[in-house]
Structure 1
C-alpha cells in the first residue's frame, strides 16, 4: 500500500448493515429484547428501508436476496458478531432475557472492550448472529 503525507483517519462508526432473513422478525427482536428503536426511512430514489437506532448509531437492515447497492461482496445472514454496551446491571439482563425466552450462550464473563474491561453476556438474534451485551467492569 502506498504511503501518504495526508493525515486522514476515521472518527467513529456511523452505521453498519445486517443482511437478515426477515426484517419484521429482526425489528421485533432488536426492539423488544435489546430496546432499540425501529425506524423506516425513505432514500433518494423514494424506496423505503428499515434501520435500528440506538445511542448515536444505527444498523441498516437489508433483506437477504434483495440487498441494496452498493452492498458487501458476500452478504449473508448469521455472519455478524456484535457487542453492545448497556447501563443496566448484567443481572437485570439475565432476568430480562429469561423473560423473553432468549438462551444465554455464555456469561456473565469478563472480557476486554474498546475502552477497558467489560462484563458480557452472549446470545443469538433470529439469524444466529452472535450478540454480546456488556457493561463496563467496576
Structure 2
C-alpha cells in the first residue's frame, strides 16, 4: 500500500509559479525595499494631485515548511526592533524619493518650456527662408 501524501504533484502544477513569485510589471514594482535582517520595508509610490505620494509596508521574511520564502506582517519581539529600524530608514528614503521626483518633474517642465520657446524661433527661421 502506498502513501498518497508522498505522491509528487503533476508537472503542470509544479511549473506554474505562484502569483507572488512572478515578476511584477514595471508600473507595479516598489519604489524601494529596505532591509534589517529578516524584516523589510517596501516603499510603494504613486502620483497624487499634490505630487508624489508613498506608502510603506513592513513585513518579515521567513521560510515555509517546503523551504520557500514567504512574507508575514506578524512580528515577534526582536522583529519589532528591526521594524523600528526599517521604519526610520523608510521615512528618510521617502523624503529622498519625493525630492528626486520633484526635481525630475521640474526638469521635465523646464525641457517642455524650452521646447515651447524654441518652436516659435524655429518657425521664424523657416518663415525667413521663404
TM-score, normalised on structure 2?
Answer: 0.24
Q: Which has the higher helix share?
A: 2
Q: Which has the larger radius of gyration?
A: 2
Q: Which has the higher strand share?
A: 1
TM-score, normalised on structure 1?
Answer: 0.23
